[in-house]
Structure 1
């Protein structure tokens, strides 16, 4: 598994770096397709490696997954200094490091210059992927388990059959809704934060958008650290509902309080709750409730929603909603726009509260339920 990770990140990283030189749609699309096809499976494989090495997933997974959260934060902050209008900085009369730094932080790129500067995000991501390719080889050796029976050879069919258990089917469908909502956040928030106040946005400088969004990942570090305790205290259903309602709270603030910049920035803290309390909990739930011989396939089944169908629907629906449905003469009707994912999140939370009732005895009853 660790060799698969290394090879995947190596090729995916090279494809990501190549995007810097793409000037037309099809080369860009081809390189991004290669990157996605190789990168997305690594998340399921990484989870499988982690769970294979853990003794208590509820207690340990949050701590391990916290490393990914730190990576999100570290990826965002270089943009504060990369997406800067350096001509303006050099021409400003500054004395001393503090004044110079203040000028840098206040000189974010805007307009076409910001769009052109975003190619550096591909460089940062590509270099990180290449470094990860090398690091993957240092992970514990995790060979694939031999298929000793015909059933093991078709573990993915067995995992699919387990959807006959009502509580698993409910969670699977709610995961699709929450993944779509989650990806709409990434699809729209940058535009919302960067749009001028007069046009309904928040008016944050371009080089500050990613750091502002990274506040959620900083909060996620804390949330991941307490995830094990939270699961033991609140249980599966309540923890997941809180995660979904984190999305609802954030979109409600975006819809109704865009004029309060500080509140809009601070509400990104709930991203930690939204991700850790739902998605990370789903991964742990699958490891706890599915039989051992189909667990990896079950992780893939839920990743189909988290990393496949959810993002696909969000990336098809998102641009149409923001670019057509809620486009106005002066910009975007952000209030109506954000009420769409807000309503979806509330609906998902209600469905989970009413219909998700996992058994207490876990794996044995999952098999019996089918």
Structure 2
């Protein structure tokens, strides 16, 4: 992200070239990883087992079905800021007061604080899991999303840049606490034969279905409240961004409140 920002690739096709090159490098690196056996030699699997479809039987269990549904609902929030934080912060270039601020000139670097926070906040999970339990950790993540969006709504790259920075820090809690604690919940509530497939279902619901719905829905909301404008030869998305962020925050709050009242755990997961 820093490379793309400092090289001036944020607004041209070179960001995709950079991503492609890194993809080839990671592909080559993957061949150096140790082998991971998926089944004992000679063991036969059915088509359903081979594709991990047996894990979908977990939807027959009320508690697991509720968990997966809420995973999808929370997953709606996952990619909203990843997709739209940059055009939002960059749009402040249309306002003279903020046009030359660091955040506007280097939106990617500012946003990268989210990924730094994400890495660091993983270290907090064992403490929070032990002290507060699985459901409360998930709730902390959900309310962190409310704060993440709300701070975007009230902040600016000038005197209010601290709100953007705080939003980036909060992202680590919002993303990690549900994804990691959710994985631990699946680990504790599934049997060995479907555990890995159940993890796949969890990530399908969050980073797959939920994130896709969230990105598409968020784009429709942003299209409704904002519009494209050419300023000094540069295209910006301007308009009622604040309204958009407050709508996203209200959605995250609704999911959190419903989760608090509907989801129940039989036993707490301890890290």
With the shorter chain as reference, the TM-score category is 0.7 to 0.9
303-312 or 338-347, larger mean C-alpha shift:
303-312
Are the counterparts in 1 of residues 155 and 162 from structure 2 also a CA contact under 8 Å? no
CA shift for structure 1 position 328: 6.5
> Quick one: distance in 2 between partners of 1:163 and 1:303?
15
Compared CA separation, residues 291 and 274, structure 1 to 2 (3 A): same
What runs of 5+ residues in structure 1 fail to find an aligned partner?
A: 1-75, 85-113, 363-370
Task: State yes or no: 1:293 paired with 2:193.
Answer: yes
Structure 2 CA distance for partners of 1:361 and 1:260, relative to 1, 3 Å: closer
Checking the alignment, whether the CA contact within 8 Å between 1:202 and 1:261 is kept in structure 2 is no
Deviation at 1:274, TM superposition (A): 0.7
In the superposition, the TM-score normalised over structure 1's length comes to 0.62
Q: Is the 8 A contact 1:83 1:207 kept in 2?
A: no
| Change over 3 Å in CA distance of 1:149–1:127 after alignment to 2 | closer
Aligned residues of 2:110 and 2:165 also touching (Cα < 8 A): yes
Distance 1:220-1:191 versus aligned 2 partners, 3 A rule = same
Aligned counterpart for 2:247 among listed residues 340, 346, 351 = 340
Distance 1:233 1:201 in 2: 45
Q: CA deviation at 1:310?
A: 1.8
- In the alignment, structure 1 residue 187 sits paired with structure 2 residue 83: yes
The alpha-carbon deviation at position 221 of structure 1 amounts to 2.1
Question: Is 2:138–2:177's contact at 8 Å kept on the other side of the alignment?
Answer: yes
Mark the structure with the bigger radius of gyration. 1
- The aligned residue for residue 233 of structure 2 is none
Higher RCO (C-alpha 8 Å, min separation 6): 2
Query: In 2, Cα distance between the equivalents of 1:125 and 1:135?
Result: 15
Q: Name the residue aligned to 2:117.
A: 219
- 348-357 or 139-148, which moves further after superposition? 139-148
**What secondary structure, in the 3-state scheme, does the structure 1 residue paired with 2:216 have?**
helix
In the TM superposition, what is the alpha-carbon distance from 1:187 to its structure 2 partner? 2.2
Task: Determine the structure 2 residue equivalent to 1:253.
Answer: 151
**Compared CA separation, residues 151 and 339, structure 1 to 2 (3 A):** same
Q: Spell out the pairing of 1:28-47 with structure 2 (5 A cutoff).
A: none
Q: Measure, in 2, the Cα distance between the counterparts of 1:316 and 1:333.
A: 18
Give deviations 1:95-118, integer Å, cap 9, x for gaps. xxxxxxxxxxxxxxxxxxx522xx
SS of 2:239's equivalent in the other structure is coil
Give secondary structure in 1 for the equivalent of 2:264. Answer: coil
Does the aligned pair in 1 maintain the 2:152–2:163 contact within 8 Å?
A: no
The aligned residue for residue 128 of structure 2 is: 230
Q: Shift of the alpha carbon at 1:353?
A: 1.4
Query: What corresponds to 1:360 in structure 2?
Result: 267
CA, structure 1 residues 201+178, in 2 after alignment: closer, same or farther (shift >3 Å)? Answer: farther
Structure 2: runs of 5+ lacking an equivalent? 230-237
Residue pairs, 1:10-49, within 5 angstroms: none
CA distance in 2, matches of 1:264, 1:218: 14
1:233-275 CA-to-partner distances (Å, cap 9, x unmatched) read: 2111111111111110021122234461222233210011011
Calculate the TM-score normalised by the size of structure 2. Answer: 0.83
What is the number of equivalent residue pairs in this alignment?
255
Q: Given the superposition, is the C-alpha separation of residues 219 and 270 from structure 1 closer, same or farther in structure 2, using an over 3 Å criterion?
A: same
Look up the match of 1:13: none
Larger fraction in strand: 2
1:209 Cα deviation after fit: 1.0
Partners of 2:97 and 2:210 lie apart in 1 by: 26
1:77 is matched with which residue? 2
Cα distance change on mapping 1:151 and 1:130 into 2, 3 Å = closer
